[in-house]
């Protein structure tokens, strides 16, 4: 399939995923194909091509990449309908099959919590986040569910709030999404969501080092720790801190992915006596 302005290659899309500039991803595979491979491209949501005219308005103002099994009729038709609604829409070349053949990461659908009536996953954790409780929401927003909602509550009430509000608790004791042995919650999410890429493995080491006071694990960890503690002093509102923290982790991720070999060398200068 040749590239065009209405299609995008798996390689190009993979470079966008995980960044703030990533398009919305819509998986329109039929149930039979999805059941045979129930994994999603990171950040994708499932929709039916049959009712595209009903759900199209929810993507107004966004760019969209449509994914079907092989990048043919279902994604082509769905993307065309979206463009009729003035939504910039492209097709993933080769569809889900080409993504898997390229050995790019996929998220097991059964690891994604149930969504609310507006199609969002809802998570709850302790208030006054520092490192893990900012890093994990960043990972979820960038690679699992861009629309995810995060509730920060009094530590003693996390599990009760999770039960009453159908939210998924994380980074507290005795829940699935939490520390295990020497691994922090961010490590667990990277593993369970199938996101073990070199960049995220590198970032996970930095987060673990900063979060568990083992700064010797990574030379970048003291910087993350200092920035995280600084953010916690700058913001009284946890959601405002989260918004600022997303940019921090965007920067660390791009360094982990693209800039680990770069260095800033100050030009040598001679000091006159």
Question: For 187-199, what is each residue's pLDDT tens digit?
Answer: 999 999 999 999 9
pLDDT of 116 reads 96
pLDDT of 266 reads 66
**Cβ-Cβ contacts under 8 Å for 133 (sequence gap 6 or more):** 125, 126, 152, 170, 171, 185
pLDDT tens across 65-113, in order? 999 999 999 999 999 999 999 999 999 999 999 999 999 999 999 999 9
What is the C-alpha separation between 126 and 116, in angstroms, rounded?
21
The residue behind tokens 């503690």 is: 229
* N-terminal to C-terminal alpha carbon distance within the chain: 67
Q: Are 202 and 256 in contact (CB under 8 A)?
A: yes
7, pLDDT greater than 80: yes
């Amino acid at each position: 399939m040749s590239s065009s302005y209405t299609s995008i290659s798996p390689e190009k899309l993979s470079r966008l995923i995980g960044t703030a500039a990533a398009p919305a991803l819509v998986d329109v595979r039929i149930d039979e194909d999805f059941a045979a491979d129930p994994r999603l491209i990171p950040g994708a949501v499932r929709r039916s091509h049959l009712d595209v005219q009903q759900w199209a308005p929810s993507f107004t103002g966004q760019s969209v990449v449509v994914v079907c099994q092989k990048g043919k009729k279902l994604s082509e038709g769905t993307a065309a309908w979206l463009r009729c609604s003035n939504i910039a829409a492209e097709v993933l070349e080769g569809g889900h099959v080409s993504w898997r053949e390229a050995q790019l990461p996929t998220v097991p659908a059964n690891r994604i919590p149930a969504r609310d009536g507006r199609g969002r996953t809802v998570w709850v954790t302790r208030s006054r986040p520092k490192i893990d409780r900012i890093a994990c929401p960043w990972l979820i927003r960038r690679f699992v569910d861009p629309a995810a909602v995060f509730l920060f509550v009094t530590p003693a009430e996390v599990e009760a709030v999770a039960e009453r509000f159908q939210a998924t608790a994380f980074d507290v004791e005795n829940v699935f999404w939490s520390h295990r042995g020497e691994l922090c919650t961010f490590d667990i999410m990277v593993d369970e969501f199938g996101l073990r890429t070199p960049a995220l493995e590198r970032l996970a080491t930095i987060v673990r080092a900063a979060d568990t006071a083992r700064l010797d694990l990574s030379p970048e960890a003291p910087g993350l720790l200092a920035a995280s503690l600084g953010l916690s002093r700058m913001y009284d509102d946890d959601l405002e801190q989260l918004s600022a923290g997303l940019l921090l982790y965007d920067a660390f991720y791009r360094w982990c992915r693209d800039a680990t070999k770069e260095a800033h060398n100050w030009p040598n200068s001679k000091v006159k006596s």
